[in-house]
């Protein structure tokens, strides 16, 4: 991302789970924040049809992202985008509208897909539209696709939920969540990925690695992609950039 990008004013952090033994904090935290420059490279092509996920991701009988927390289907994001005249990236639209793809991604922290009830307009130095798509089960974090007026998009994370209808959001402590239009530069947001496809790949593979590490009955069995991912951290220790997620 160039320094002239509107997102350059936001903190650049990968917000996700710890990978015990490879990338972790001394204390237990649900999520950590690490430098994006220190993330492992992605060795495969991430096509807009998400065929890479069909090739490398196994269908999860239980715990896949195709099991929704709320009654709102992820595909509802298409109707929200139509109402607000927002053009969704193909990879994002395809994943949100295909439960079979969603079933190949799981979350060790109980994250769930949720398009919300509205798309929020952003103003100021980072204009565009904020599209919610993923929440942590305990509302520790929420992820959004931010789409600029010219169509470029990136994934942002925030501890606050901005996707509820204004009249239904009185329970939210942050008053800015009730605004029709918000200025991202003055709020708690982090730039997490330069595209939805890259975010999805890292979210998918880090959860697969976590589940492999969590089974204490046997040594973890990594496939080639997972081995390359953890190998990046093993080859670059010590890592001194990890902090609990904070702005």
Q: What is the pLDDT of residue 246?
A: 53
Q: Read off the pLDDT of residues 68-94 as tens digits, 9 standing for 90 and up.
A: 888 889 999 999 999 999 999 999 999
Lookup result for tokens 């001194």 = 240
How do 120-122 and 181-182 pair as beta strands?
parallel
| Residues 174-183, mean pLDDT to the nearest whole number | 86
Strands laid side by side in the 243-244 sheet: 13-16, 32-35, 243-244
Query: 79: which residues sit within 8 A by CB, 6+ positions away?
Result: none
Instruction: Kindly indicate the confidence band of residue 240, based on its pLDDT and cuts at 50, 70 and 90.
Output: very low
Total residues belonging to the chain: 247
Lookup result for tokens 């927002």 = 86
Query: 105: which residues sit within 8 A by CB, 6+ positions away?
Result: 53, 57, 60, 64, 65, 200, 203, 204, 207
Q: Read off the pLDDT of residues 91-109 as tens digits, 9 standing for 90 and up.
A: 999 999 999 999 999 999 9
Is 39 domain-assigned? no
Instruction: Output the average pLDDT for the chain.
Output: 90
Find the distance separating the first CA and the last CA of the chain, reported in whole Å. 20
Is 238 domain-assigned? no
Instruction: Kindly indicate the confidence band of residue 29, based on its pLDDT and cuts at 50, 70 and 90.
Output: confident
Phi/psi for 174 (5° steps) reads: -80, 115
Is 38 domain-assigned? no
The CA distance from 189 to 149, in Å, is 19
Is 242 domain-assigned? no
Identify whether the C-beta of residue 220 lies closer than 8 Å to the C-beta of residue 29.
no
Is 49 domain-assigned? yes
Lookup result for tokens 């009988």 = 61
Q: Is the pLDDT of residue 25 over 90?
A: no
- Tell me the residue range of the domain where 59 lies: 6-13+45-217
Is 63 domain-assigned? yes
Least confident of 27-36, 93-102, 142-151, 195-204: 27-36
Token code pair at residue 209: 């690695």
Instruction: Name which residue leads in pLDDT, 141 or 168.
Output: 141
Q: Read off the pLDDT of residues 124-165 as tens digits, 9 standing for 90 and up.
A: 999 999 999 999 988 889 999 999 999 999 999 999 999 988
Task: Give the number of domains in the chain.
Answer: 1
Name the pTM for this structure: 0.92
CA angle 204, 208, 212 (to 5 degrees): 170
Is 26 domain-assigned? no
Is 161 domain-assigned? yes
CA angle 7, 47, 108 (to 5 degrees): 70
Question: Radius of gyration (Cα) for the chain, nearest Å?
Answer: 18
Alpha carbon 42 to chain centroid distance?
16
Q: What is the pLDDT of residue 69?
A: 81
């Amino acid at each position: 991302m160039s320094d002239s990008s509107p997102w350059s004013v936001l903190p650049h952090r990968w917000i996700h789970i710890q990978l015990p033994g490879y990338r972790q904090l001394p204390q237990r935290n649900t999520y950590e924040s690490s430098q994006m420059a220190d993330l492992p490279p992605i060795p495969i092509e991430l096509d807009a049809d998400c065929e890479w996920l069909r090739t490398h991701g196994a269908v999860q009988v239980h715990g896949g992202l195709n099991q929704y927390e709320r009654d709102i289907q992820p595909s509802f994001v298409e109707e929200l985008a139509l109402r607000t005249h927002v053009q969704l990236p193909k990879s994002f639209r395809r994943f949100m509208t295909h439960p079979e793809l969603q079933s190949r991604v799981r979350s060790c922290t109980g994250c769930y897909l949720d398009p919300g009830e509205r798309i929020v307009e952003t103003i100021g130095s980072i204009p565009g539209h904020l599209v919610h798509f993923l929440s942590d089960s305990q509302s520790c974090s929420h992820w959004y696709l931010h789409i600029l007026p010219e169509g470029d998009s990136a994934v942002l994370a925030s501890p606050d939920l901005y996707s509820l209808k204004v009249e239904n959001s009185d329970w939210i402590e942050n008053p800015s969540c009730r605004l029709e239009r918000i200025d991202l530069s003055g709020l708690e947001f982090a730039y997490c990925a330069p595209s939805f496809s890259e975010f999805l790949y890292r979210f998918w593979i880090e959860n697969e690695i976590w589940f492999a590490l969590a089974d204490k009955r046997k040594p973890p069995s990594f496939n080639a992609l997972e081995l390359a991912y953890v190998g990046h951290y093993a080859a670059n220790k010590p890592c001194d950039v990890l902090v609990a997620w904070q702005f």
